[in-house]
C-alpha cells in the first residue's frame, strides 16, 4: 500500500464521496479559498466549485443550522469545524436538532450529516482550545461518534460516516494531520461500531482512541521489553461502542487499562469500567484502571501541558500495578 498523510486520507474520503454522490457537499470556515485551516480540503474548491465547497462566516451555530436543514431536505452535508472547541457554539443544532430529528419526526425526517474537525490538545493552545469532547457527544442519543487515530481508519470511517443516514460526529486531531500511514489506493469502507485490535497480547488489555493510541502503543512496546504482553484495542467508534471485542479481550488477558485524553469525570473510560465490571467481572484478576488527563483546565505552560496529559511512563507504571495486583 502507498503511504499518505492523515489530511490526504480525509481529503480522499470526501472527494470520492462527492464524486459518487452529488448531494454531498462541504461547508465550514476557510474550507474553500484558503484550502482548509489544516489543508484537509486543499484543491477541493477547484474540483467541485463554490456550490459544493462553501466558505462560511465565523458563526458555528448559523452554518451548523444550515447543514442540518440541508440534510433534512435530501443532501448529505459535511460540516467542518476549525476545532471542536468552537463547536460548543453549535451545540443547540447538534443536540436539539440533528440528534433528535428522526425520533421527533416519527421517522419522517432523517439527518444524514457529518460534523468533523480536530479535537483535544494540540500543545500550547491553553484551556479554551485544548478540550476533548468524545464523551459529551457520545452521551447524546441519536448521534454516532467516531474518533480516529491513523490515516487508514480515518479514510474508511469518514466514507462510512458520509453514507450513514444518521448524524455523525467525526473527531480528528490537529497534531496528526501530517502523520503518515498506509492507505490502499482502491476504495474501502470501515464499518461504524467496530473496534480494531492493533496489537495482540495475552497479559493485559489496553484500550484507547484518537492520538492517545500512540501513547498506548508505545507503552505496549516498552512493556514487551519487560516481559509483559499487552493487547492494544483502538475503539475508533465511541458510539456505538464495540463491547464484544473489548469483553473478549478482557476474558483472555484478565486485566484492563484504559487510556484517554478526556477528563476523568463521566468519561469514556468511566463507562467502559462500569460495563466491564458488569459483564466480565468474574474474569478480572485486578481492578480496571484508567489513565486520563488531569481533572483541570489545560494551562499554557509547556511543563503543565506535559504533566496534565497521559504519558507513556504513566501507562507503563499503571500496567505494572495491575499485573502485580493481588486477586
Residue 147, all three cell numbers: 474518533
Q: Taken in order 231, 237, 241, 245, is the CA torsion positive or negative?
A: negative
Active site residue 60: yes
Catalytic residue selected from 129, 174, 231, 260: 129
| Residues belonging to the chain | 327
Count the Cβ atoms, other than its own, within 10 Å of residue 256: 29
The 3-state DSSP class for residue 84 equals coil
Alpha-carbon distance 6 to 134, whole Å? Answer: 20
> Which residue has cell 471542536?
84
Active site residue 129: yes
Residue 49, all three cell numbers: 466549485
Catalytic residue selected from 12, 17, 60, 261: 60
Between the alpha carbon of residue 170 and those of residues 140, 145, 189, 231, the distances in Å are 14, 6, 15, 25
Residues in Cβ contact with 176 at an 8 Å cutoff, skipping those fewer than 6 apart: 6, 149, 150, 211
Residues in Cβ contact with 287 at an 8 Å cutoff, skipping those fewer than 6 apart: 322, 325
Residues in Cβ contact with 96 at an 8 Å cutoff, skipping those fewer than 6 apart: none
> Which residue has cell 485490535?
197
Provide the annotated active-site residues.
Answer: 60, 129
Amino acid at each position: 500500500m502507498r503511504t499518505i498523510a492523515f489530511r490526504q486520507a480525509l481529503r480522499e474520503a470526501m472527494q470520492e464521496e462527492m464524486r459518487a454522490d452529488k448531494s454531498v457537499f462541504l461547508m465550514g470556515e476557510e474550507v474553500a479559498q484558503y484550502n482548509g485551516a489544516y489543508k484537509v480540503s486543499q484543491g477541493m474548491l477547484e474540483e467541485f466549485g463554490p456550490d459544493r465547497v462553501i466558505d462560511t462566516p465565523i458563526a458555528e451555530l448559523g452554518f451548523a443550522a444550515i447543514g442540518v436543514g440541508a440534510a433534512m431536505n435530501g443532501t448529505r452535508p459535511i460540516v467542518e469545524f476549525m476545532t471542536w472547541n468552537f463547536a460548543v457554539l453549535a451545540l443547540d443544532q447538534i443536540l436539539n436538532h440533528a440528534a433528535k430529528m428522526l425520533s421527533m419526526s416519527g421517522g419522517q425526517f432523517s439527518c444524514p450529516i457529518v460534523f468533523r474537525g480536530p479535537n483535544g490538545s494540540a500543545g500550547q493552545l491553553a484551556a479554551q482550545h485544548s478540550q476533548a469532547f468524545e464523551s459529551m457527544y457520545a452521551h447524546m442519543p441519536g448521534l454516532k461518534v467516531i474518533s480516529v487515530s491513523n490515516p487508514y481508519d480515518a479514510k474508511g470511517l469518514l466514507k462510512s460516516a458520509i453514507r450513514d443516514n444518521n448524524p455523525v460526529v467525526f473527531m480528528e486531531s490537529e497534531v496528526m494531520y501530517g502523520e503518515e500511514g498506509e492507505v490502499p489506493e482502491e476504495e474501502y469502507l470501515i464499518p461504524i461500531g467496530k473496534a480494531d485490535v492493533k496489537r495482540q497480547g495475552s497479559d493485559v488489555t489496553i484500550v484507547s482512541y484518537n492520538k492517545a493510541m500512540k501513547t498506548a502503543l508505545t507503552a505496549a512496546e516498552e512493556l514487551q521489553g519487560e516481559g509483559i504482553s499487552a493487547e492494544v484495542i483502538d475503539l475508533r467508534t465511541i458510539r456505538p461502542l464495540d463491547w464484544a471485542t473489548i469483553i473478549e479481550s478482557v476474558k483472555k488477558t484478565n486485566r484492563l487499562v484504559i487510556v484517554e485524553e478526556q477528563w476523568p469525570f463521566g468519561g469514556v473510560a468511566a463507562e467502559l469500567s462500569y460495563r466491564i465490571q458488569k459483564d466480565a467481572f468474574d474474569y478480572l484478576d485486578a481492578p480496571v484502571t484508567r489513565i486520563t488527563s488531569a481533572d483541570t483546565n489545560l494551562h499554557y505552560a509547556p511543563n503543565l501541558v506535559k504533566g496534565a496529559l497521559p504519558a507513556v511512563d504513566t501507562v507503563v507504571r499503571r500496567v505494572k500495578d495491575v499485573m502485580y495486583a493481588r486477586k
